[in-house]
Amino acid sequence: MIRANIVSVILLMHAIVGFPFHARGLSMTYYMMNCPFAEQIVKNSVNNALRADPTLAAGLIRMLFHDCFIEGCDASILLDSTKDNTAEKDSPANLSLRGYEIIDDAKEKIEDRCPGVVSCADIIAMAARDAVFWAGGPYYDIPKGRFDGKRSKIEDTRNLPSPFLNASELIQTFGQRGFTPQDVVALSGAHTLGVARCSSFKARLTVPDSSMDSTFANSLSKTCSAGDNAEQPFDATRNDFDNAYFNALQRKSGVLFSDQTLFNTPRTRNIVNGYAFNQARFFFDFQQAMRKMSNLDVKLGSQGEIRQNCRSIN
């Protein structure tokens, strides 16, 4: 009776605040009865890792994007390559991904408490959410119940958005997965955390670019003098989740072409300006877009499995 009353209260709370309780077979209370400490275990693993290395917050959010954009949110990004298959994580587009050890740590601790229950796909989604909040961003709840996929092929990563896409191409690419132009700009705001490598923006420095502030261009050139792997923060607060990224775009100081194009293009400029002016608006739209990203083409039941080890299929 007590458990039933608790579930009823939670259902009512989600109804009041407007959270979707079910999303394509997922549930906010999916682990309440069979692994009630799962979310706290993930949060502890994330917070412990980020206290030691705050730059990993960007890695966990990027991991979710790169997982969900390929074959949906099914933890395919975590699978290791085998002698017969080169997996997604070994694609050039994914070689700079970080944070795998955080997922491994959470999974190991969860398996000790409730083996065979919590998917690696759910752990990625929860870890990204917890990383956003740890870095100062909004907290958003997500439904659970994703199953892990059994396919991970390097050739599928060709569908990842390139840092060289313009706004129209970004809108088309994301639109094919159900995202609006507003979602595109909000999700791009994840670049408020982390860095870009010179190899992803050096092409902008070879010809005069009127959309780039000349002083900032000189700064990027100085970064690239250290080689293709040299890192440039996306904004001045690389470990803080805020709206500084959008302020940088207004100053013509976006690092990637795919960043600055959002301000240069009339269709998305007003959204950028709105987020630069109102951080709360950005936070609200970002959490809505992240819920949508976290639910992208999820696998349920017989479509997947619950991996014992996130790096290999059962």
Residue 82, beta-bridge partner list:
85
Token pair, residue 262, equals 């959002």
DSSP string, 13-45: HHHHHT--SEETTEETTTTTTT-TTHHHHHHHH
d(CA 165, CA 156): 18
Q: How far is CA 35 from the centre of its chain?
A: 24
The answer to whether 240 and 50 have CB atoms below 8 angstroms apart is: no
Task: Tell the burial category of 282 from Cβ atoms under 10 Å away from its Cβ (0-12, 13-18, 19+).
Answer: buried
d(CA 92, CA 88): 9
> What are residue 85's phi and psi, to 5 degrees?
-155, 130
**Secondary element (H or E) of residue 282:** helix 279-294
Catalytic residue among 14, 22, 66, 191: 66
Say how many residues make up the chain. Answer: 314
**Is 66 in the active site?**
yes
Of 122, 24, 130, 25, the closest CA to residue 78 belongs to 122
Give the type of residue at 177. R
Would you name the residues annotated as active-site residues? Answer: 66
